[in-house]
Amino acid sequence: MSETDPNRRMRIARQHVQTDQLLGIASVPQGEAAAPPPLDETAEPAPAPAAAAPTDSTTASTEPSGAVPTGSPWSAAPELDRAARQQLLEQMDRDEVSCCTKCPLSEGRTRTVFGEGDPDARIMFIGEGPGQNEDEQGRPFVGRAGELLNKQIAAMGLEREQVFIANVVKCRPPNNRAPTPAEVDACEPYLRRQIQGIRPDAIITLGGPATKLILDTKLGITRLRGTWATYDGLLPTGPQVPVMPTFHPAYLLRSYTEDNRRRVWSDLQQVMERLGMK
């Protein structure tokens, strides 16, 4: 079916209005709510149902090389003020991530995508990896999936700038494939330090690869979404962080059923309840 097919455009516009309703957005300006996003299916990485989870022991809670060494500025991050933590994050981006060559993804990238948001955020969203738009702009979730994520954040009563948005891998996998276990392993220490620095009250993992990494599990997202779990990667010196797994927005766009939209909204509401935002 063509992108300009009026029936398809109408259907998508209707679905977006329904999403707004399901997500509790009552006051989206008409034009915005009705405008269907561009239909470039290739612009977002496919949230792969097949795991990109590490298969060896170098996972979130046990890998010594990723641990935050005592005495490093990162171990004190939770006590630092927002500006100091912002500085630590910027430093990691500038001195380590932006010039990283730890895995072959570095060869194909245009820009690294460190992540962005409030270093004091109560909620951290973790996606899979940059797609084409993100690779070009160096910012997370700026394509179609990002539009939906923005709506979800707004529906939670938050501005995008109030949360922190990161990915499992900081460089775009070619052809939007899922990152390999080796690529995930190479990038994991960056994500762990981001979590260490931000110390969110809750992590929302978006899709299978992020959920598998953060929960160190091989179980699929369909089994795990909607149920609270914990991130243990800061132990033994840091706290466990509550984790709510949910579907990736790109998956939701592809499987845009009322049931799926309700599921995601219910997952987000659980987070709002736990954090006293309702």
Q: Give contact residues for ligand URA (rule: CB under 6 A).
A: 44-45, 113, 127-131, 134, 140-141, 145, 167, 250
Tell me the closest approach of the beta carbon of residue 140 to ligand URA, in angstroms: 4
Tell me the closest approach of the beta carbon of residue 242 to ligand URA, in angstroms: 21
Between 44 and 93, CB nearer to ligand URA: 44
Between 188 and 238, CB nearer to ligand URA: 188
Tell me the closest approach of the beta carbon of residue 133 to ligand URA, in angstroms: 7
Between 200 and 238, CB nearer to ligand URA: 200
Sheet holding 164-167, edge to edge: 116-117, 164-167, 123-127, 202-206, 241-246, 229-231
The rounded distance, in Å, linking the Cα atoms of 251 and 277 is 26
Between 119 and 138, CB nearer to ligand URA: 138
Tell me the closest approach of the beta carbon of residue 132 to ligand URA, in angstroms: 9
Q: Give 216-225 contacts, CB < 8 A, sequence gap 24+.
A: 216/53, 216/54, 216/59, 216/60, 216/61, 217/53, 218/51, 218/53, 220/49, 220/51, 221/47, 221/49, 221/245, 221/246, 221/247, 221/248, 225/263, 225/267
Whose CB is nearest to ligand URA?
127
